[in-house]
Amino acid sequence: MQQKDRKQMYRQQTMSYFINAALEIIEEEGIDSLSIRKTAEKAGYNSATLYHYFSDFEELRIFSAMKYLDQYAKDLPAYLEPVTRPLERYLKIWECFCLHSFSHPDIFWLLFFKHADTNWDFSYYFHAYYDIFPESWSEDAANYKNMLSSANFSEREFLSLTDSLNKENIFLPESDIHNLATMNIMLYRGMLETLREDSEYLSIEEATATTVSFIRRALTSYNIDLD
């Protein structure tokens, strides 16, 4: 048993070396420049060894991308702290998510949209990431991390919206909440993809303010009063 734990610990430590090497490359050259060869070299291993720890290049990319999601999850509690009204908190979550994801649109696209058509197990990578980097896990962020790990993007948006409306005693039929959640995701995704193609389109702050204002409008179109 202890033997197995030590083996597992060694494995996770080695994975962390590769992921940290990959993150350095992403920071310096962007995620499009990442490669197995460069990552292995920077970590001091050869490419064949890397494949003992990651099933393919995409898995290395996804583990590396998780770091950016972790930064968002860490940032969120302080961001929400001064806000009490549930729907304003809901909008603040979007604001914080926009700020983080619009800073790294390709990375968040990879995590949330690239694999939408396959049944890939986001929560597996999510939990495995915190097994590899347990020091990253904080109780403070645990709430939001649970939310983040629980389901796919549109399910998460639906749950977050439903929860906020319930807390405000606003009744909307489930189909309306579903449509509103979808509308908000389309608005977000439209902006994310625009920034992926054209990083000069708007500043991160402008793109965030614009997207949140559109989501506000979507809410008002369902007669949800935000004043």
Q: Among residues 18 and 90, whose Cβ is nearest to its own copies?
A: 90
Q: Among residues 140 and 206, whose Cβ is nearest to its own copies?
A: 206
Nearest-approach distance from CB 96 to its own copies, in angstroms: 19
Residue-wise burial string across 165-200, b where 16 or more C-beta atoms lie within 10 A, e elsewhere: beeeebebeeeebbebbebbbebbeebbeebeeeee
The structure tokens listed for 11 are 């494995």
Q: Among residues 140 and 193, whose Cβ is nearest to its own copies?
A: 193
Residue 161 DSSP label: H
Nearest-approach distance from CB 188 to its own copies, in angstroms: 7
Nearest-approach distance from CB 142 to its own copies, in angstroms: 31
Q: Among residues 7 and 217, whose Cβ is nearest to its own copies?
A: 217
The structure tokens listed for 22 are 């990959």
Q: Which residues contact 212 (CB under 8 A, 6 or more apart)?
A: 91, 94, 95, 98
Q: Among residues 154 and 162, whose Cβ is nearest to its own copies?
A: 154
For its own copies, the binding residues (CB under 8 A) are: 113-114, 116-117, 179, 182-183, 185-191, 193-194, 197-201, 210-211, 213-214, 217-218, 220-222
C-alpha separations of 73 from 14, 15, 148 in Å: 24, 22, 8
Residue 152 DSSP label: -
Nearest-approach distance from CB 113 to its own copies, in angstroms: 6
Report the amino acid identity of residue 65.
A
Nearest-approach distance from CB 21 to its own copies, in angstroms: 29
